[in-house]
């Protein structure tokens, strides 16, 4: 488990920035979900990923970014928000809180981009 955590720590920036590229975003999402849904890794991965994910959203929601990346980002956040394993309520709540704080911080730091984004529906 420690080896997987180390991989995520070393590669999280690469995985998250890959969300900005149409050719890589779906693969990056599948990788990130494996880490973020894993009950043992989640407690360490979520807080460590929050800041870089907020910055990534500010890149994704620029006018010149491919629309597919924006849709993929929204779907990724919706999937996280809906939770991991249904039998693990604590994990589901942690993911909901993570998504809420990430989107809220993105909206606060990048209000114009947020207002033009497809993330408003998610916050409602």
Number of neighbours of residue 87 by Cβ within 10 angstroms: 7
pTM of this prediction? 0.87
Number of neighbours of residue 53 by Cβ within 10 angstroms: 27
Question: Residue 124: what pLDDT?
Answer: 75
> Using CA atoms, how far apart are residues 31 and 42, in angstroms rounded to an integer?
13
> Using CA atoms, how far apart are residues 74 and 81, in angstroms rounded to an integer?
10
> Using CA atoms, how far apart are residues 112 and 12, in angstroms rounded to an integer?
26
- Show me where the domains of the chain are located: 2-123
Each residue's pLDDT, cut to its tens digit, for the chain (124 residues) gives 899 999 999 999 999 999 999 999 999 999 999 999 998 899 999 999 999 999 999 999 999 999 999 999 999 999 999 875 555 677 788 999 999 999 999 999 999 999 999 999 888 7
Question: 20: burial class by Cβ within 10 Å (0-12, 13-18, 19+)?
Answer: buried
């Amino acid at each position: 488990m420690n080896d997987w955590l180390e991989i995520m720590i070393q590669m999280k920036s690469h995985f998250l920035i890959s969300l900005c590229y149409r050719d890589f975003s779906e693969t990056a999402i599948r990788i990130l979900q494996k880490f973020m849904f894993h009950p043992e890794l989640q407690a360490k991965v979520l807080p460590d990923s929050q800041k870089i994910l907020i910055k990534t959203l500010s890149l994704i929601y620029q006018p010149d970014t491919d629309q597919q990346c924006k849709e993929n980002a929204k779907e990724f956040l919706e999937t996280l928000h809906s939770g991991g394993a249904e039998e693990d309520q604590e994990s589901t709540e942690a993911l909901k809180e993570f998504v809420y704080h990430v989107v809220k911080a993105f909206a606060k730091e990048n209000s114009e981009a947020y207002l033009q984004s497809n993330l408003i529906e998610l916050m409602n």
